[in-house]
Amino acid sequence: MGTTTPEEKICIGCGEGMPEERAELGYRYCTKDSCQAQYHRGLAVTAFGLNKSGETFVVADADEIRRRGEAGEFRKKDSGVGLDYRPTGAPAAPRPRVPQQRRRQPAPRRPWTAEQEKITRLYHDMGLSPRQIVARARENAPRLQLTEALVVKILSSLPR
């Protein structure tokens, strides 16, 4: 054993002095290989696969990991909201599907006449734009009173 100065502490392994700084960090053993091998308890990095998105990594000593694992911290969590969301016992028989009777919906009312639609589709098939269709209809069939908005609605609807 060597002599120690007042700023040194005694190593629990070899009995020699160790620096005050190391003692302040909480170590009770020195940095010699023999003392490190005997007293060093490193942390373990453990990966737990909890779900499909990835693993959970825990950095702790082996005793803490064992204690937390036994407490069930690393098992798959049940994400159900209520206590009785899963049926207990035998599964219930599926109910027979009863077809619902559908009411007939009246055809949607179109705010244009058949003549307006006919002339609009005719001019559209000729390659005219809605603005050009309105201009041509005002010349040839002013009684139809086509507007650009109405032409767009007719062209946007499904063809009959």
* CB of 64 closer than 8 Å to CB of 53: no
Considering all CA atoms of the chain, what is the largest pairwise distance in Å, rounded to the nearest integer?
Answer: 119
User: What pLDDT was estimated at residue 63?
Assistant: 78
pLDDT digits (tens, 9 = 90+) for 15-55: 888 888 888 888 888 888 888 888 777 777 777 776 666 77
User: What pLDDT was estimated at residue 50?
Assistant: 65
Nearest residue to 44 via CA among 64, 19, 24, 16: 64
CA 17 – CA 9 distance, rounded (Å): 5
Give the rounded distance of the alpha carbon of 30 from its chain centre: 49
User: What pLDDT was estimated at residue 66?
Assistant: 82
Residue 134 has pLDDT above 90, yes or no: yes
pLDDT digits (tens, 9 = 90+) for 55-72: 777 777 777 878 887 887
Q: Rounded to two decimals, what is the model's pTM?
A: 0.34
